[in-house]
Amino acid sequence: QVQLVESGGGLVQPGGSLRLSCATSGIAFGRYSMGWYRQAPGKQREVAATITSYGGANYADSVKGRFTISRDNTGNTVYLQMNSLKPEDTAVYYCNAQPGGPFFPWGQGTQVTVSS
């Protein structure tokens, strides 16, 4: 059974930081490029960052320089370090396989709210 469980979200002030975690099970984690996605109110889900099996990363222009994606292939976990947060980063954040390939069932996501 495939499980993707996101955690680490919360309420932070602009300029603050959060670290999100995505714990996976039931997949050959080390074989997949993974990504973090986010969905803001009134907008469709978009990819924020991706990471290959070996750790190569790509970022959306909107988060480049502020977010860092990483992975632990032993613990089957993907992380997203979020710094210098802005109100426009407010969204529900999800993890999944990278775009261009098949997706796993979506988890519940974790809410990130950036507000003063």
Q: What is the pLDDT of residues 22-72, one digit of tens each?
A: 999 999 999 999 999 999 999 999 999 999 999 999 999 999 999 999 999
CA angle 34, 107, 95 (to 5 degrees): 20
DSSP H helices in 45-112: none
Strands 67-72 and 110-114, bridge-based pairing: unpaired
Percentage of the chain lying above the pLDDT 70 cut: 100
Mean pLDDT of 12-21: 98
Burial class of residue 65 (count of CB atoms within 10 Å of its CB; 0-12, 13-18, 19+): exposed
Tell me the pLDDT band of 107, cut-offs 50, 70 and 90: very high
Mean per-residue pLDDT over the chain, rounded? 97
